[in-house]
Amino acid sequence: MVLLEREDELARLTRAVRRVRDGHGDQFVITGPLGCGKSALLEAIRADATGVRVLTANCSLLEQDFAFGVARQLLEPALSRTGDCDRLFAGPAGLARSVFAVDAPVDSAFAVQEAAVSGLTALTHAMSADQPTVLLVDDLQWADDPSLRWLVTLAKTLEHHPILLIAATRDGERSPLRRNEIRPEPLSSTAIAELVERRTGRRPDEEFVAACHTVTGGNPLFLCAVLSHVTSPAADQVPHVRELRPARLKERLVRGLAAQPLHAQNLAKAAAVLGDDDLVGQLAGLTEAQAREAQRTLDQAGLVTSRPVVRDAIEESMPVGEREDWQSRAVQLLHDNGRPAEQVAARLLTVTTTQGRWAVETLRAAAGVAMRRGAPEVAARYLRRALRDVQGNSEQRARLLVDLATAERFFDPTASVRHITYAVPLFREVKERAAALVRIAPTALGSAPRPVRDLIDQVAADLRHNKELAYRLEARQRYVWHSDPALLADAVLRLKQIDGVTPGERELQIILLDAAMFTARMPAHEVADIASRVLKQEEPHPRHVHTAIPLLIKVLAAADAAHEAVPWLDRALSQATNTVEQALIRAQQSFVLMHLGKPGEAHRAAEHAVDLAVLDWRGDTTTAAIGLTAVAMELRDPGLIARILTSRPDRDEPPGCDAVYRMLHATGEALAGENAQALDRFLDCGRVFDSVGWRNPVLLPWCITTARLHARLGDLTAARDAAAQAWDRAVEWGAPLGVGRALYVLGRYTPGRKGLGMLHEAVQVLHANPFERAKALLQLGARERADGDPQASGHLDEAYRLAVESGAERLARRIAKELDGNSPGIVVALTRAEFKVAGLVVRGLTNAEIAEELTVTSRAVEKHLTNSFRKLGIRRRTELAGALARAYPPPA
């Protein structure tokens, strides 16, 4: 091993070796904790000593009962190489003959051993007279008592003989040799970096060195054990370094612990279980004074219990039964001393034996704390542990299952539904059964298995005299029917019977509004009025994603009343701490923003949602899937489409939801130019939607898309028929967004003044939606340009302005080409990020507002603006709108 930062120690010992060659004896004790480099110093002296006889011994705990074992290790090899042993044993040295006799152990009588000590001392003097001698003794703390007495006696005579005695021993261990103490210090960060570079051949990153220093405390043994499992000293390896628990190091630590007194061993085991808690001493059964003494002993031995590797080694060394006993006593001690519920619960997770009622109550309380701080998966772990300590058919178990299901809604709603169904039969009262069932979000029941649906029906039939729970059960029953057109049919009639005064009534209203929207059996403005009233009575909160409210947001957007949901969702998102909540709210925001004609903002929200893996969530994501699908189809973004389809849950879906995904897949095919294949898929999806009663033209615009695909394939008659069908459905629903879309598509494929009139009407109908109005203006301007109408340029200019303001980059490019004779223009020169920033500046946002909107730094915004100004040849933001407009002048 390379010795680093040991120059002073080596220099002192080397000088001592030179002095012994000159006839001056001495003694040194190298002391320090386990792994500090004591043995390495001894090895360095052994390798470099010249002109002297070097004799070595390694003491062992297992040989501590072997009298004069260390003396024999030191002297016997030299004696075996000496031709005239009788000469060395002459005089007083002859008393040592019995020590080296084969199979003749030395008598344990004190007098006999003292005589042997005198003989060994004389023998060593005689050997040093032939050649200066260096005695190196490692792990002196484990030397047998007779050998130790001999070394003490010998040390007193060294000044008069050419003998150098160097012994290594651990801190806190017995060492009667006291002269010239050497204590190797921990390695500095500089030394660690040098050692890492020598071991790996690469200069380490500062973060890697810092992690090594933190984990090992500069202890060479610990450091070498860690580096033996590392190949790259890069910053990305820091987590690996922090988690390493080298097996060889553990073995050394366990052996070191076994050599400690019982009270120190108990303190170490208590620390392995409790960590740095101040109850460690009590757990070990020690007084404060005893605990301090035990800790000092462990520290001196290098068993620093604050280091994870030491704790792990100690804990793993305990048999399973002993470890369980320590853990059980520790958790009871924490509870009895009033520690916080989560602290006690975290310890209870490691205890497998039943602890009693107090443990169940503690785990349940800890789960509540975890839920309030936004950690549902932690809460679920506490509750699963609590289930082990309750009877299998008790109501207490049922309540724990309900609590567990409530936590699982955040990350595994399928399991949540399952655990609710396990709990319901355990309740004796039907009211409690109903209360448990309504913990299931209605939207989680879209793909629930038949037994779950039957259970809801049964409890609903048995429930008496509780209208609130009855409304909430009915909401769940009706949501299950969303793929059954016969059962969807009476939703409007039932909706008119509900006032929405209580939370249960409002929940049922939302389900019925969703059905009315899907079937388009109630005019959009009436649906919007009721939906707006319901939303105003609900306080914004991120947990709404586990209720029926996401359906309400979808209803408002489809009814062209999405503006009311924007501030509500913003407030809910600001409180969200859970990833699933954030993802689902982002998906809702994306859907809302798209229907408000803000595709740029909708795109960013959709990307946020997919980045958070919303569709990889194992629960019901029908609402999120439909919303994101609508956004991806309108944006015509192949990347977003692919990400949504890739993250689709692997499970059976109801026919309608499955058709939504297939419709998105068809959009991707159309973008790839596979128009015939995409058309067939869209038509098939349309048949599925009609079969289940889903007819809303805003939410499911398949008719409009089939019209475009027919036109691409050259069948304008079929295109007009499909657009006319979209128009009929849009008028039936009545939302301006749907009507306007259908009008500009139908007008595009209708020749003459009739088609032109439809395009003009579409522009008027879509006055509140900049994105859709820009698309209508593009079709109108293109028609007018083809007819030689001078109004074309004005309409195209207005279309371009709206596209830029709304962040519709692709649409802006299309309009620019129409304006500029297919020249790519400046829009192509600007990057996507620059285009987004430019559009927001045109809308009047400040740099700070843009940074917040795009979730980037103000510095990044300034950089994008600077690049845009350079490309456009302007100097001020007030010139930006004009510069963009001038970049696409109409042809002369």
Q: Return the pLDDT at 483.
A: 64
pLDDT band for position 379 (50/70/90)?
very high
Determine the pLDDT at residue 686. 95
Q: At 868, is the pLDDT very low, low, confident or very high (cuts 50, 70, 90)?
A: confident
User: What's the token pair of residue 420?
Assistant: 């609710």
- Indicate the burial class of 752 (C-beta count within 10 angstroms; 0-12, 13-18, 19 or more): exposed
Residue 579 has pLDDT above 90, yes or no: no
Question: Can you tell me the mean pLDDT for 353-358?
Answer: 86
- pLDDT grade, residue 175 (50/70/90)? low
Q: Where are the alpha helices (DSSP H) in 244-317?
A: 247-258, 262-274, 280-283, 288-300, 308-317
CATH of domain 7-182: 3.40.50.300
179, pLDDT greater than 80: no
Nearest one of 171, 143, 149, 175 to 58, comparing CA atoms: 143
What pLDDT does 730 receive?
95
Reported as a single tens digit per residue, the pLDDT across 310-320 is 777 787 778 88
Q: What is the pLDDT of residue 823?
A: 34
Checking if the pLDDT of 822 tops 70, the result is no
Of 478 and 431, which is predicted with more confidence? 431
What is the mean predicted confidence (pLDDT) over 667-673? Answer: 89
Per residue in 30-89, pLDDT (tens digit) is 988 777 888 889 999 998 888 899 999 998 877 788 889 899 999 998 888 887 778 888
For Cα atoms 810, 852, 848, give the angle at the middle one, nearest 5 degrees. 105
Express each pLDDT in 637-661 by its tens digit: 888 888 777 767 666 677 888 888 8
Q: What is the C-alpha to C-alpha distance for residues 703 and 742, in angstroms, rounded to an integer?
A: 9
Bridge partners, 167 (sequence order)? 29, 137
Higher pLDDT, 630 or 542: 542
Task: Using a pLDDT cut of 70, give the percent of the chain over it.
Answer: 91
Average pLDDT score over the chain = 85
d(CA 351, CA 348): 5
Q: Is 614 exposed, middle or buried (0-12, 13-18, 19+ CB in 10 A)?
A: buried
Once rounded to an integer, what is the mean pLDDT over residues 330-349?
91
Position 888 pLDDT exceeds 50: no
For the residues 164-180, what does the mean pLDDT come to? Answer: 77
The residue among 806, 875, 856 whose CA lies nearest residue 835 is 806
Query: Is it the case that residue 106 has pLDDT exceeding 70?
Result: no
Whether residue 1 has pLDDT greater than 90: no
Domain ranges of the chain: 7-182, 186-244, 778-886
In what order do the strands lie in the sheet containing 163-170?
Answer: 53-58, 133-138, 163-170, 26-32, 181-182
Q: Which of 305, 256, 260, 257 is nearest to 280 (CA)?
A: 305
294 and 287 Cβ atoms separated by less than 8 Å: no
Q: Examine the pLDDT at 552 and tell me if it is beyond 90.
A: yes
Q: Which of 109-118, 168-177, 330-339, 447-456 has the lowest mean pLDDT?
A: 168-177
pLDDT single digits (tens) 288-300: 999 888 888 887 7
Q: Is 50 exceeded by the pLDDT of residue 618?
A: no
Q: What DSSP string runs through 387-412?
A: HTTS-TT-HHHHHHHHHHHHHHTTT-
Q: Where residue 619 falls among pLDDT bands split at 50, 70, 90?
A: very low
Average pLDDT value for residue range 541-545: 87
Give the mean pLDDT of 884-890: 51
Higher pLDDT, 857 or 823: 857
Question: 728-774: per-residue pLDDT in tens?
Answer: 999 999 999 999 999 999 999 998 899 999 999 999 999 999 999 99
* Whether residue 626 has pLDDT greater than 50: yes
pLDDT of residue 725: 96
pLDDT mean over 848-866: 83
Range in 134-143, 239-248, 498-507, 672-681 the model is least confident about: 239-248
Average the pLDDT over each of 207-211, 292-296, 816-820 and give the range with the smallest value: 816-820
Using alpha carbons only, give the angle 657, 659, 663 rounded to the nearest 5 degrees: 120
In this predicted model, which residue has the larger pLDDT, 768 or 620?
768
Q: How far apart are CA 72 and CA 56, in angstroms?
A: 10
Going by the DSSP 8-state scheme, the letter that residue 889 receives in this structure is P
